[in-house]
Amino acid sequence: MKIWRFAVISIISALLTCTMPKTTEKNMYGFTVQNWRAKALEVAMNLTHLGQRFTLKEDSFVYDEQRKIACVADGITRDFLDGSVVTHDLKGVMKFLNEQYPSPSPAREAADICTKSFMETKSFRQANGLIGEYNHEKGLLETNYLNRDLAGCTAAGFWEEKGLIHWTFIADSRIAIIDKNGMRFKTPDQGPHSEGRSLYLESRVQENGGWSNSKARRAIRKDYRNNPEDNYFSFGVLTGEETAIPYINDGKEKLDIGDYILAFTDGMADIIFNGNEPNPNFIDILKNNPPKLEKFCRGKVNTEGTLVVYKVE
């Protein structure tokens, strides 16, 4: 009885702690937020496997304020080890607790490889190659597109140089610039279900029963991911495949004093935007009360999201 009381108190304490804002008044800062269900599951996994350390976070971010460079990456969630789709219902929770999800997660490791590489090279092309080497080392190149799928991530990064912000992104990790008048620039969402299209509604996916069906997931990962020959439904992921390269976007924008540069993963999109328009509540807190921004985002996030902010001084 005492063990369960301790577990409950620990979970409540962790949840209360994770709601405390950590952002301070800096020109560059970043954070990853999870919803309370994901955080509670993570705490429960660590309590039921004493001596081990589990994390369900598959986003990664790195920034260097002195060098004015930052990168975020979103590791692509895996299937359970038995090849079934990841869910967060009771059945899915029990699978997590019974270690049916890979730990450490190849998704998180791919994201960490990407952010670290970008800080050294300012390029996702090199990061893609390193993720390919990781997949080779882990024996994932002989993929079945389910529980032995390629590890991969989407990503967005930027750096300032000579009054310009140089940016790069792939898929639904993105860059935005907010100035005194609002959102001046944003990269498009090029993920699998964006800009008025949804791969999950494509006929072959629907015929195979949707995302929860293994045939549909295999089709998405095999036929639509990193397939430049399909110009409509295809999308890019840094998996080490050469066919990921065409999906990497690069550009640059002029900067002004007071601009805010955002790099964020797709989990932040519904917080930063209301549909296609910027969320005025987000912008207000960003500009006028940045120490509260992390708490605001945590209260709105669906599962997990990552944001790095750089204010130009």
The answer to whether residues 72 and 17 belong to one domain is yes
Which of 207, 234, 261 is the C-terminal boundary of a domain? 234
Same structural domain, 299 and 241: yes
Burial 76-100 (b: 16+ CB within 10 A, else e): bebbbeeebbeeeeeebbebbbeeb
Question: What is residue 109's predicted lDDT score, i.e. its pLDDT?
Answer: 97
Instruction: Tell me the pLDDT tens digit for each residue of 168-178.
Output: 999 999 999 99
CATH number at residue 153: 3.60.40.10
- Distance, CA of 25 to CA of 171 (rounded, Å): 31
**Domain end (from 234, 249, 264):** 234
In terms of residue numbers, what domain contains 153? 2-139+148-191+236-311
**57 and 127 part of one domain:** yes
Q: Residue 123 and residue 111: Cα distance in Å, rounded?
A: 14
pLDDT given at position 25 = 58
Q: Give 299's Cβ-side CA count (13 Å radius).
A: 11
Q: Starting from the edge strand earliest in sequence, which strands make up the sheet with 304-311, in order?
A: 28-34, 304-311, 260-264, 174-179, 182-186
Q: Do residue 40 and residue 187 come from a single domain?
A: yes
- SS3 label, residue 275: coil
pLDDT of residue 48: 66
CA distances (Å), origin 31, targets 37, 71, 77, 162, 309: 18, 12, 19, 27, 9
Query: Tokens 């660590």 belong to which residue?
Result: 46
pLDDT at 126 (0 to 100): 98
The predicted structure's pLDDT at residue 52: 59
Whether 287 and 214 map to the same domain: the answer is no
pTM of the model: 0.88
pLDDT in tens, 202-243: 777 888 788 889 998 998 999 999 999 876 788 999 999 999
Q: Does residue 183 share a domain with residue 57?
A: yes
What the block records as the tokens of 245 is 């390269």
Same domain as 91, residue 208: no
DSSP designation for 225: B
| CA–CA dist 216, 145 (Å, integer) | 10
Residues 17 and 47 in one domain: yes
Q: Does 218 lie in the same domain as 83?
A: no
Tally of domains in the chain: 2
Do 11 and 91 reside in the same domain of the chain? Answer: yes
Q: Of 182, 217, 234, which one is at a domain's C-terminal end? A: 234
Distance CA(10)–CA(40), nearest Å, equals 10
Q: Give the chain's residues under pLDDT 70.
A: 1-25, 39, 45-55, 195-196, 231
pLDDT score at 275: 83
Within 10 A of 199 (CB to CB), how many other CB atoms are there? 22
User: Do residue 202 and residue 85 come from a single domain?
Assistant: no
Question: Whole-angstrom Cα distance, residue 147 to residue 137?
Answer: 16
Based on the fold, state whether residues 208 and 272 are members of the same structural domain: no
